[in-house]
Structure 1
C-alpha cells in the first residue's frame, strides 16, 4: 500500500552549531534534532539510512524537544543531499518492514501493486516476468536498485526484477515517482525503485516454508553472524509451481522453477562504514504466448549474478561515499520449448560494470552535493547488436555469440540546497555523455522548493528532467514479427509537480498534481489496418503530454480510536492519469498508449485476537489501450478489481499464516491475451531464533 514514509532515525543533538560543520542550521534559531543519514538518496541508500526505530523512551527531555520542533525535522531521502522532511519537495513511497510482513504476496513484483503510482503488469505470477512502470510510463523507464546499486539490464527491462533476495529478507522498498536524473542518473526517466535488504543487529537465523495452489512450493532460510564491528549474512531460497495454464497440446506452459542465494557483509567503526554483497538468481519459466500468439509453448531461462562494494566515512566536514559493482545477466529464450531444431534458441549475455563517487559538504551558503558515475554496458548475443569481430563461444552449446554492443555512460551530478526557516530550495543538474551513437554531453536540470506554512503542513513544487538510453532490444530485435531501429534517439522527459503534505496525530497524507512532457518516446507499435500479421516496429513515438493526480491517506486507528484494539490501520490511495497523444488512430501500442488511467488501493489491518491479525487489500485498475486477440480482433482493456487476504498468528519465535490472492476468483489480464490465475491459496510457517 502506498504511504509517504515519515521515519525517525536515532538522533544526534547539535547544541553548538556555530562551532560545527552543521552551522547552516543555526539560522533556525533553535536546537534541531537530526537523523543520521548518508548523503545520497535511493541511489546510495542503506539499511540504516531510513530507520524505523523510535526515539529512546528514556530520554524524556529529548522527546519533549522533538514534540516542540515537530516530526517534520526528521531527515528523509529524496534529494541528492540529506534534508529534513519539513524541507523536502519530493514524495518517496516506502513499503516498510510492516507492509512487507503483512502483505499477501509471494514476490517483490506483487508487493509493488500496493503503490498507487506504480503499474505492475504481469505475464506470470511468482515473479516469472513482470513489467513495472511508474506514472504511466513503461518498464524501461525506471531505475531498479539493490541496496542503492543500479541493477538494470541494458538488454531489456522485462527481467529487471530478478533480484537475488527472498521477499522475507527485505527491510523496505523505496519508490521515487517522477524524473530525477540529477539524483539517480540516466534511466530514471520516471523514477526509481530501491530494494534494501535487512541487517539484524544480533546473530540470528530463520527458516520458512509455504505451499499452495497450482503445485506452488517455496522454502528458504537465513543465518546472520555478528561479531563486534563485523557482520555477515547468508540466505537462500527455492520456489516452484506447476502453473495455472496448459498449451493446446496439453503441456504445462506457465510453470516456474527458481532459486536465489545472497551474501552480504559489513564493517563499521567510529570512522568508516564498509558494505559488500554478492547474489545469484536463476529461474526458468513457461512463457506460453509472451512474445506471440502463434506459439503457446515458449520458455525462458535467466541467470543473474550481482556484486558490489560500498564505503563511506563517518567523520569530517567532507562526506564521501564510493562504490564499485559488477552485474552479469544471461538469458536463453526458446520459441519452441526444448526444441532448438524447430527454431534456434536466442542467447544473450550482458556484463555491467560501474564505479561511482558521491560526496557532500556544508558551508556558509548551504549544503552542496557532488557526484560522478562511469557505467560500462557490454552485451554479446546470438541476434542482437552489431557483428562481432571475434565471436565468442556460448557455454554448453556448439554455437557462438556473433553480435554485440558496448557502450559507456558517464554522468556528473551537482546539487545545492539553501535552507531558510520555513522555505527550502534545492537545485541541481546531471551532465550525461554516452559513447553509443557518438552522443555528446547533455545537461538535465532540476529544482525543488517547499514551504512549511503551518504546523504539520507543507506545500511543495518542483521541475525535473531526465533521459533514457534505448535498450539493446529496442535497437536490434528483428525476429518474430518485430523490426527494430538501431538509430533510435534517447527518450527525454521534463515534468512539473506541485502538492501538499500533512502529518498530524494519527493521520498522515499527501496529494500532488504533475504534468509530464515526453520527447522522442520509444515504443513498439504497429498499424492495425494492415491486419494481425502487421510487424511491430520500434520507433520514437514523438511528443506526448500527460498529467496526473495522486493522493494517499493513512489513519492510525489505534491512536484515533483508543478505546478499541481491533482496528489497527486504514490506508487509502488513488492515482489518475490522462495522456494526450496525437495521430494514434489505427495504431496499436505495446506500452506507451497502455497505461492505468485510474487506480484505487485500499488496505485494512485488523487485530482479531491476541497475536492473530488479518490484513485485507483491495485494488481497482482501469487501463487504457487495446490489444489484438487470437482471432485477430482488436479489443480494449476492461477495468477489474482484486481482493487479497492474509491471516496470521505470530509469536516471537514463529509465525503461521494463510493467504488468499484474488479472493473473488476474478479472471483478468494485465497484458494482452495472457490470462492471470484465479483464486490462489497459500499457507506457510516461519521460525526464527537469536543465536
Structure 2
C-alpha cells in the first residue's frame, strides 16, 4: 500500500470527524498603472496584494509536513521516492504520488541535473521532450513536448507560471543553475486549466530545494573545449527558521564556429522561512547573456549577435490547516533583448553616416554588408526580385515585463477535496519593432503594447474509500483583454488494479489555449511578416495509459497514448507558389492539425549494484496533415520519434559514471542540410570524490561523444565532440 492517500494531504487525518469552520479568503490582485495612451516610458507598477485567511476548526493540528524531493545534503532522491515522489502533474492539487498521476510524467532528480551547466542539457535526454538548441550550454534553446511548438510548453517555477510574451525563444532564459534545483517535473500533456495559458502540449515544473541544510558552500571551476571556462560559487546558511541560499556563476566560450562566442552570468538568492504550518519563499535571480548568433534566425544574413538580460523576483506563501491549505504568490519578470542582424563592433560591422552597416573585409564578407546588397539591387532585380537589406536601420531592441499574482485555496473533506485558484497577470512590451506607436515614448522604444490575462478554475477531486479509484472534474477559464474568454474544462481518472494495487490505469481529457506572442503579432523585418489578425490557438486532447510499480518501489513501467486536436494553430509559413515570388515567412493560423502518438518508459534503480539506475524511453508522434503549397516553420516541424537511454554506474575506485543516449528523428529532415534523417547523441560523464569527507570532487563530461554532425534547428551547426572538466570544492562549517 502507498505511504499516503491520493492527495498526500490531510484528509487521512480527518476521516470520520465532523467540524464546523468559517473561511473568508480575499485576494485583491494586481493594480497596474502604465499610462498606456500617454507614455510607455518607465514601467509604473504597483502591487496591492491583500491576503487574509480567517478560520476556526475543532480538528487537531496537522502533524504531517510537506514532503521534499531532496534530502538535507542535496543527494539524489532516495530509492523509495522513485515510486512515491510527490509531484505536481497538471492537476489542481499541490502534490500527489507520481504513481497515482493521471498524466504521463517524468521526474528528474539532482543526479541528472548536477552534471549539466544548463537545464536544457539535462532535458535533452528526458522522455518525450524535444530540445532544439541554437548553441551549446544553454546559450539559447527551445523546448517542445509531444509535437508541440516552442510556444506551446509552459514553464512553472515553484508553482508559478513564467511567461515570455515577447517570444517563446526567450522562455528558457532561466536565471537558475541546474545545481540549484531540487528536482524537475515534466508533464507530457496539455494542462490548460491548471498550468495556465501556454500549457498547450505540456509543461515543465522546476522546484528549488526546501529541505534542511548545514552552513557551508561550494566552489566549482570548469574548463573545456572551444575555450569553455566557468566559475561557480554557492553558499547555504541556516539561522533559526530561515534558510538562505546564494549562487553565482560566470561562463564563457570562444565558440565552436566563427561568431559563436558567448558569455553567461547568473546570480540567485533564495530565502526560505519555515514557520511550522506556514512557509514563505523569496527568490531573486538575474541572468545576463551575450553571444554570437551565427545563422540563428536566418542564414541569409548569418553574422547576427544578441544580448539578453532577465531579472526575476518571486514571493511564495503557503499555509496548511487541519483540513485546508492556502497558497499565494507574487511574481515579476523583466526581460531585455538586443538583436543585431549585422554584428557590430571591432572586426565586424560599423554604421556609416548614411545609415548603412559595412564590414571592411575582402571577399564574400564584403558582399554581405547592407551597402553591398543595396548596390547590387539594380543589377539583380531584373533577373530575380531581390529584397536588399537597405531597410535595416539598426538593432532590434525590446524590453518586456510580466507581473503576476496568484492564489489557491484547497478544502479537504473525508473522501474529496475542492480547489479554487486564480492567476492574474499583466504582460507589457516596449520595442522599436513590436507594438503600436505611443506618444511620448522613449526614443529607443517608440512602440509598445500590453495585455491582461486571468486564469481561474474550480476543481473537485474525490476518491473511493479503498483508495483504488480517484477522479477529478475541473472547470477553468482564461480571460484575455485582447483575445477574449476561453472555457477550459478538464477531467481525469485513475484506478489501481491487483491485490497489491501495483498496476495503475489512468485517463485524462481537457482543453488548452495559447495566445499569440508580440512577435507573432507585430514582427515585420527581414523576410518575416507578423499579423495583428492572428487568433488564439486551442486544442482538445485526451490521454490514456497505465503504469506498473511493484511493491519494492524501485521499478516503474509506464505507457500512454494521446490525441490532440489543434485548431487555429499559429505558424510561420512561406507559400511556395506566391506571385510574385517572395522569400517571406508570414504568421498565420492553420485551420486544424491533429496529433497523435504514444510513449513508453521503464525505470529501475538498484540499491547495491554496479548499475545504479537505468531508464529507457521511446516516443512516437504523428500529424494528420502535411505541407501543401507552403513551408511550415514550426507546427509541422516536430520530433517524430525519439529513443532515450539514461544509466548511472558505481564503478571501482569509487568512480561514478553516467551514460546518456538519445536517437532523434524529425518530421522534416529535408529542411536541413545535414542529409541525416536520424541523428544520435551520446553523453558520457565520470565523477569521483576525494578527501576524508569527500570535500573535493573531480568530474569530466563528454558531449556528442559520437561526433555527430547535425543541425538542431535551421542552419545552426551544432558542435562536434567536446569536453568539460570540473573541480568542485565542498566547504562545510564545523559542527
Q: Which interval holds the TM-score relative to the shorter structure?
A: 0.7 to 0.9
Aligned length: 627
Find 1:207's aligned residue among 205, 219, 226: 219
Show the 5 A alignment for 1:208-607: 208-246=220-258, 253-338=259-344, 339=349, 341=351, 342=357, 343=392, 344-363=394-413, 366-392=416-442, 399-420=443-464, 421=466, 422-436=468-482, 439-454=483-498, 455-504=501-550, 505=552, 506-530=554-578, 533-556=582-605, 558=606, 565-581=609-625, 584-607=627-650
Q: Which sections of structure 2, spanning at least 5 residues, go unmatched?
A: 21-61, 74-79, 352-356, 358-391
1:250 aligns with none
Give me the whole-angstrom Cα distance separating, in 2, the residues matched to 1:205 and 1:231: 13
User: How big is each residue's C-alpha offset from its partner over 1:103-125, in whole Å with a ceiling of 9 and x where there is no partner?
Assistant: 4x331111111112110011111
User: How big is each residue's C-alpha offset from its partner over 1:401-424, in whole Å with a ceiling of 9 and x where there is no partner?
Assistant: 111111000121111101012111
Query: 2:564–2:596: 8 Å Cα contact kept in structure 1?
Result: yes
2:16 aligns with 18
Give me the whole-angstrom Cα distance separating, in 1, the residues matched to 2:629 and 2:84: 53
Give me the whole-angstrom Cα distance separating, in 1, the residues matched to 2:705 and 2:669: 27
* Superposition deviation, residue 152 in structure 1: 1.8
Shift in alpha-carbon separation, 1:12–1:148, aligned structure 2, 3 A: closer
Alignment pair present for 1:174 and 2:185: yes
Structure 1 SS opposite 2:560: strand
Structure 2 SS opposite 1:593: coil
Shift in alpha-carbon separation, 1:138–1:690, aligned structure 2, 3 A: same
* Superposition deviation, residue 296 in structure 1: 2.0
* Superposition deviation, residue 509 in structure 1: 1.4
The more displaced of 92-101 and 198-207 is 198-207
Structure 2 SS opposite 1:198: coil
Find 2:122's aligned residue among 111, 123, 126: 111
Give me the whole-angstrom Cα distance separating, in 2, the residues matched to 1:227 and 1:365: 39
User: How big is each residue's C-alpha offset from its partner over 1:195-251, in whole Å with a ceiling of 9 and x where there is no partner?
Assistant: 2223552222111111100000011111111111011121100010000112xxxxx
1:683 aligns with 725
Give me the whole-angstrom Cα distance separating, in 2, the residues matched to 1:289 and 1:529: 25
Alignment pair present for 1:95 and 2:141: no
2:57 aligns with none
Query: 1:7–1:52: 8 Å Cα contact kept in structure 2?
Result: no
* Superposition deviation, residue 18 in structure 1: 2.2
* Superposition deviation, residue 169 in structure 1: 1.5
Query: 2:297–2:714: 8 Å Cα contact kept in structure 1?
Result: no
1:59 aligns with none
* Superposition deviation, residue 19 in structure 1: 3.1
Alignment pair present for 1:658 and 2:700: yes
Give me the whole-angstrom Cα distance separating, in 1, the residues matched to 2:276 and 2:509: 39
Alignment pair present for 1:143 and 2:141: no
Give me the whole-angstrom Cα distance separating, in 2, the residues matched to 1:377 and 1:309: 18
Show the 5 A alignment for 1:160-171: 160-171=171-182
2:139 aligns with 128
Query: 1:87–1:423: 8 Å Cα contact kept in structure 2?
Result: no
* Superposition deviation, residue 379 in structure 1: 0.4
Structure 2 SS opposite 1:109: helix
Give me the whole-angstrom Cα distance separating, in 2, the residues matched to 1:552 and 1:523: 31
* Superposition deviation, residue 363 in structure 1: 2.8
2:56 aligns with none
Query: 1:7–1:51: 8 Å Cα contact kept in structure 2?
Result: no
Give me the whole-angstrom Cα distance separating, in 2, the residues matched to 1:204 and 1:532: 64
Query: 1:527–1:586: 8 Å Cα contact kept in structure 2?
Result: yes
User: How big is each residue's C-alpha offset from its partner over 1:445-494, in whole Å with a ceiling of 9 and x where there is no partner?
Assistant: 00000110113101111101110110000011100101111110001011
Shift in alpha-carbon separation, 1:244–1:483, aligned structure 2, 3 A: same
Q: Which sections of structure 1, spanning at least 5 residues, go unmatched?
A: 1-5, 23-32, 38-47, 55-66, 247-252, 393-398
Structure 1 SS opposite 2:134: strand
Give me the whole-angstrom Cα distance separating, in 2, the residues matched to 1:224 and 1:204: 5
Give me the whole-angstrom Cα distance separating, in 2, the residues matched to 1:85 and 1:576: 23
